[in-house]
């Protein structure tokens, strides 16, 4: 398992740069698609992503249902 706790994620052009707490950076080269544009601001990138995505989707569905019920 990874021993690294906190990583900062930044976009530079098409690439994604990951920086650890000591300031050491490494880059994953991208195709200029995806990450920078698609990140939901409610998602904390330093925590497991998919659990958050699932929880947020459930929250959004619940909110939508509530709005529909109110409208009806």
Partner 1 sequence: MSRGFLLDSHVLLWLDQELLIYSPAAYEIAKAGATGRLFVSDISICELGVASHKKSLEKRPDLRGLSIDGWFDETTNRLGARTIRITQAIAVEAANVPGIYGSGDPGDCFLIATARLRRLSLVTRDTKIIALAKRERGYLDVTVC
Contacts of 28 (CB under 8 A, 6+ apart): 15, 16, 18
* Contact between 69 and partner 1 per CB under 8 A: no
CA distance 33 to 42: 20
Question: Which residue from 12, 42, 46, 66 is in contact with partner 1, where contact means CB under 8 A?
Answer: 46
Task: Lay out the site mask for partner 1 across 5-44 (x = CB under 8 A, - = otherwise).
Answer: xxxxx------xxxxx---x-xxxxxx-xxx--xx---x-
Distance in Å, CB of 33 to partner 1, minimum: 6
């Amino acid at each position: 398992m990874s021993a690294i706790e906190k990583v900062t994620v930044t976009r530079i052009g098409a690439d994604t740069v990951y920086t650890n707490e000591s300031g050491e950076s490494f880059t994953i080269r991208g195709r200029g698609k995806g990450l920078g544009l698609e990140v939901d601001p409610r998602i904390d990138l330093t925590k497991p992503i998919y659990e958050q995505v699932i929880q947020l989707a459930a929250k959004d569905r619940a909110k939508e249902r509530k709005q529909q019920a109110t409208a009806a």
